[in-house]
Structure 1
C-alpha cells in the first residue's frame, strides 16, 4: 500500500565544511528560520539540484558559495555518500516514508587563519531575492554533533567519522 500523501522534493546536496585554524577544527553552519518547525536551525550549507543533469558536486560547490561566500573547487570535494554500499544508491534518504528526497553529502576540509574564522562568524549571506536570510555560525567540530538537530549534519558527521576510522578519506590538501 502506498501512503495517501507524499512530498515530492527531489535530489539535494549538503556540505560539511571543516576548517582548521591553529590546531582547532571548526564547522561552518548556516542559521535560518525554518517555517515547518517554527524556529531557527543550524544546518549544513545545502540546496536542491536545480537542473535535470544530476550534477551533485557542482550544485554543492554553488550552494556553498551562495550560502557562505566560500569559493571551493570541484576537486576539493569528497562525496561522503559515495562511500556507502552501491545498493543504497549512494545518497542519504532522510524520510523515505513520506518524501522522495535523496541527499548527496559532501565534505570539504581546508586550513585558514584565525581572521577568516572571525570574519565568517555571524556573517549575513544568502540570496536575498530568493528569500534567503542566512547568518553563518562557526562552531568547534568537537561540539557540532550537540549543536544541531539537522539530520544532514548528523548524518555527515557519522559518515565522516566512519570513513576516517576505516581510512577511506583521501588525504586533505591542508
Structure 2
C-alpha cells in the first residue's frame, strides 16, 4: 500500500492510498481539501480553555483511503472517496471517522405562479432513478454537485436548472435561503453556509436556493412531464409539477425538499423573503 505524510502537518499524519490513486490526485481533490481544512480548523479550536475537549484534545493521526470512484475512465476525474480518519485523544479514545467524500451541492426550490391565479403555487420537481435509494422514480427538487468549472453555488444552480428542467435563468434571480437563514451565526469551525444532510457519514453540504416566478399558465403546463437530463451523464429525468400545498406528501422523503420547504416557510414568516 502506498503512503505519504500530509504536507505541513504537525504531528505527522500518514495517508495510506489505494491502488490507482496518487498523492497528487488526492491532494487536488476539492472535497478532500475542503474536508481537511474544516477538520483542521475545528481541531485547532481545542486550544481555547472553554472548549469541551481542551484538557484532552483530539488529534488527527492517520487517514486510510478505502475506495475511490472516477467520473469517467480511471485517472480522469476523481468523483467520490471513502476514507477512514483516525482522530484520537489518548485518555478518551477514538472518534467515529468513516467518511464518504463527495463535496458541495446545490438544490433549488422552484415555485411558479400562474398570472391568471396568483394564489396558486406549483413546485417544479424532478423524477429520476436513484439506485442508492433503490428507486427508479424518486421525486425531488432539482439538484446537482459542484464541479471544477463552476465555482459559485448560484452558477451551479443555474446550470442544473438548464440541464434538468430546461429553463434558462439568471444567477441574480436565485435567493440563497441557507445563507439567509444562518447569516446571524458565523460558524467558528469554518462550516459552509449550507445544509449538511448526513454529517455522521458524509461531508456533503447543500446550498438551497429559491426561484419564484409568475408565468403564463400555458408555459407552466408545457413543463409537465418534459423529459430532461444530461445524457452524457446517464441522467433520465422527467419534470413533474406539484401543488405547493401537497409538496410534503410527495417530496417528504427527500431531505433537500424538506429542508427547502422549512427554509421557505421560515424566511416568509420572518419576512427575509417576500
The interval holding the TM-score normalised by the smaller chain is over 0.9
Q: CA deviation at 1:48?
A: 0.4
Counterpart of 2:125 (choices 13, 24, 29) is: 29
The match for 2:175 is: 78
DSSP 3-state at the match of 1:106: strand
**1:150 has 2:254 as partner:** yes
Counterpart of 1:121 (choices 224, 245, 251) is: 224
**1:16 has 2:109 as partner:** yes
Distance 2:96 2:226 in 1: 42
Tell me which moved more, 87-96 or 106-115: 87-96
| Structure 1 runs, 4 residues or longer, greater than 3 Å off | none
Q: CA deviation at 1:128?
A: 1.1
Matches within 5 A, 1:34-113: 34-39=130-135, 40-51=137-148, 54-83=151-180, 84=182, 85-87=185-187, 89-113=192-216
Q: CA deviation at 1:51?
A: 1.6
Unaligned ranges ≥5, structure 1 = none
Counterpart of 2:265 (choices 156, 161, 171) is: 161
Distance 2:231 2:149 in 1: 25
Q: CA deviation at 1:37?
A: 1.1
**Equivalent pairs, count:** 170
DSSP 3-state at the match of 2:100: coil
Unaligned ranges ≥5, structure 2 = 1-93
TM-score, reference length from structure 2: 0.60
Q: Based on CA coordinates, which of the two structures has the bigger radius of gyration?
A: 2
Give deviations 1:30-78, integer Å, cap 9, x for gaps.
Answer: 0001001111211111100002764111001110111000111111100
The match for 2:244 is: 141
Q: In angstroms, what is the RMSD of aligned CA positions?
A: 1.4
Tell me which moved more, 49-58 or 6-15: 49-58
DSSP 3-state at the match of 1:97: coil
Where relative contact order (Cα < 8 A, 6+ residues apart) is larger, the structure is: 1
Cα distance change of structure 1 residues 4 and 168 upon mapping to structure 2, 3 Å threshold: closer
Distance 1:48 1:34 in 2: 15
Q: CA deviation at 1:4?
A: 5.0
